[in-house]
Amino acid sequence: MKLKCILLIDNSEIDNFVNATVVRNSGLVEEIVTYQSAAEGLDYLQSLITAQVPVPGMILLDLGMQLMDGFEFLDAFLKLPFGAAQEVKIVVVTSSIDDRDRLRAKSYPCVVKVLEKPLRADRFRSLFTLLQAV
């Protein structure tokens, strides 16, 4: 079963490119949307909600971004006017080696997994299989 849409949020153009390539090559996702800013990603989600259009089924989110980091995105995401925490599965993809960041990310009810950068094809396929079973 394919995921209709995935949202990638990472301030690094290279990381977004790598993640999009891994996702595209998996053949498991129909549409990939990317943003280099957490605020732009939130605006995108808000526009979908306002238009009453389905939101992406999964978000790959970086933690370390300027202006609005991944944690600020998660705080704002949980305040969106829809059951986002139940509808959208968020996977944090981070280069942080700080266990506190990983534990903090996992404390959000909408975060289903924390993965290390770079995203690898085998990890994405395993993640996708795991999430489809839930």
Provide the pLDDT for residue 52: 86
Cβ proximity of 42 and 76 under 8 Å: yes
Provide the pLDDT for residue 39: 97
Cβ proximity of 77 and 9 under 8 Å: no
pLDDT one-digit tens code per residue, 83-104: 654 678 999 999 988 899 999 9
Provide the pLDDT for residue 16: 97
Residue 76 has φ and ψ, to the nearest 5°, of -70, -40
Residue 94 has φ and ψ, to the nearest 5°, of -135, 155
pLDDT one-digit tens code per residue, 38-88: 999 999 999 998 888 889 999 999 999 989 999 999 999 999 886 654 678
| Average pLDDT value over all residues in the chain | 91
